[in-house]
Amino acid sequence: MFTKEAVNIDNLEIVSLCLRFVKIRHIGIAVDSIEERLPMWESLGLKLDHTEEVESEGVTTAHIKVGGYEIELLTNGKDTPVGKFVDKRWNSSFSSGKLMVLRNL
């Protein structure tokens, strides 16, 4: 349980507490162009595992393995839900981040 003191801690401490109870499967990052953003990840020594077209969502994804985890770069058309989200809020290499977690059952 969180105590009253835990309520006043900073975001990194909250994330640390939460990660004790969940396992990160992957982190999805919406980008304007996979081709333009992938070299940055490769410059960090990370390698592209595979790409995938997800027609039902209108996105193209690039999957980068990092240990037992995965970074998923997503790019899409302007008229898709992810495209509208990115256009409305951000215009940078780290357009948005979505942390997907699974409870450790």
| Residue range 9-51, pLDDT digits in tens | 555 666 666 666 667 778 888 887 899 889 988 888 889 999 9
Domains in the chain, please, with CATH?
Answer: 23-103 (3.10.180.10)
Q: What span, in angstroms and rounded, lies between the C-alpha atoms of 32 and 42?
A: 17
Q: What is the pLDDT of residues 46-72, one digit of tens each?
A: 899 999 998 887 889 999 998 888 889
The Cα angle at residue 26 between residues 67 and 58, in degrees rounded to 5: 130
DSSP β-ladder status, 96-103 and 69-76: unpaired
Residues 6+ away with beta carbon under 8 Å from 52: 60, 61, 63
State pTM to two decimals: 0.59
